[in-house]
Every structure is written in C-alpha cells, then in structure tokens.
Structure 1
Amino acid sequence: MNAIDDADALWPTVDRLRAWLDAANDRPAEEELLLRVLKLAEEVGETAQAVIGATGHNPRKGNSHTWQDVESELCDVILTAMVTLRTLTPEAEAVFQRHVHGVARRALT
C-alpha cells in the first residue's frame, strides 16, 4: 500500500509535505507561517471560485467548473490547513483531535 493511500499515514504525509515546503523556503519561520496562513485564504478563494463556476453564477463564464472541482478545492483547503497547523506546532495531530472532540462534544450532546 502506498504511504499516501494508508489512512494511518495521513499525518506523516503532512509532515513530509511540510518538510518539502521548508526545504524550498529561505524565509524566517514566522514569515513562512504567516504566508502559509495566507495560502489557506487563497485556497478558500479558489473553492469559492469553483462553486461560482459549478453553479454558473458568473454569466460571462457560465458553468466553468464541476462539483468535482469543488471537492478538489475543498481537499486543498483541508490539506493546506493541516500543513499550516503542523508548521505552527509539532503536536498538530493531537491539537486537531482535541479540537474535533471538543466541537463534537459541544455540538452532539
């Protein structure tokens, strides 16, 4: 099984992606973190653009995207957020799990 296909390898894959980005980076750590947060905003914008394209809301462009494009953009948002969280803390997986459990506890009880 490919490491990317193994659900247990999700966070190790995020770590590898963060390391790959870090290797190509020559900025101070704080600046790089801020730019990764901005990259997250960019990905959210691309998701909005895909929704507009999938619904044909822009009459000039018509139906320029599909709902599969929206799915892909949402995955980019999630992955970018995971890499950014990992950049912020080496405990990203635990931080995320605690947060998900806290939201579920508040919302589902």
Structure 2
Amino acid sequence: MPDQTAESGDTTADNLVALSRWIDAGNAGRDPEAITWGRLAKITEEAGEVISAYIGYTGQNPRKGTTHKRSDVVAELLDVAVAALGAVEHLGDHQGLALLALEDKINAVAERAGVATPPGGESDG
C-alpha cells in the first residue's frame, strides 16, 4: 500500500471502502483468516464468470450458442476488479488506499514496459 492517505470526498474510494466494510460486517464473528480467504476466493470466482461469459459471447458451447454479449464480458471483468480492490481495502484496514495503490501499480507497470507517460501528460510517441 502506498504511504499516502485517501482524500476525503473521493466518492469512488469512499464507496469502495463502504462496500468492503459491508462485506466484512456480513462476516462478523467468523475467523479473520477465513474472512480473508473468502475475500481472495471471491476474485477467483469472479474470474470464472469472465470465462463463462466469454464462452457465451463467442459461442464456444455449440449446444447453447451465443448467450452473452461483449458488454457481459466487460461487466464480469469489472466485477473481478471490484472484488480485487475490495480485498485490498480489507487487507489495508479500510483506509481508502486501494485506488491509490492501483494507480501506483499501473504507473509502475507502464514504466517497466517503457510506455509510461511522463509527468505533465505528454508522451514521446
């Protein structure tokens, strides 16, 4: 997690924290390690739904045909992202830092790949 604090008033970060706290509250009284395992397993479950939607989108099950749209695949991918970010909030004690950590991660990967936009927003390409 970055050494930053979440800014008050960031509705998206606030909503992510609220969702993560809501999930944890629904598991109150359970073993803390089991709660964390559940949060991490949810990411895998959502990833399975991505594959299911993609199979339905591409018609790879001849018996069922085309049962999904591209937007269904995108929605499932975003469910994976929300589950993962919620798990980050859970692991970070709901400090509202998951989106900052995601931004740092994206920037680090882009830099490592040699495609990062320099400060100021102008790219070399």
TM-score using structure 1 length: 0.85
| Corresponding residue number in structure 1 for 2:5 | none
Gaps (5+ residues) in structure 2?
1-9, 117-125
| Corresponding residue number in structure 2 for 1:47 | 50
Match among 77, 82, 100 for residue 80 of structure 2: 77
Match among 79, 92, 98 for residue 98 of structure 2: 92
TM-score using structure 2 length: 0.75
Bigger radius of gyration, 1 or 2? Answer: 2
1:52 Cα deviation after fit: 0.4
- Given the alignment of the two structures, is residue 21 of structure 1 paired with residue 27 of structure 2, yes or no? no
The alignment covers a number of residue pairs equal to 102
- C-alpha distance in 2, partners of 1:54/1:87? 33
Letter in 1 for 2:52: Q
Question: RMSD value over aligned CA atoms?
Answer: 1.4
- C-alpha distance in 1, partners of 2:62/2:19? 38
Q: Which has the higher contact order (CA 8 A, sep 6+)?
A: 2
- C-alpha distance in 2, partners of 1:55/1:49? 10
Task: Give 4+ residue runs of structure 1 displaced > 3 Å after superposition.
Answer: none
- C-alpha distance in 2, partners of 1:45/1:66? 16
- Given the alignment of the two structures, is residue 35 of structure 1 paired with residue 38 of structure 2, yes or no? yes
> Counterpart of 2:19 in 1: which secondary structure?
helix
| Corresponding residue number in structure 1 for 2:62 | 59
- Given the alignment of the two structures, is residue 103 of structure 1 paired with residue 106 of structure 2, yes or no? no
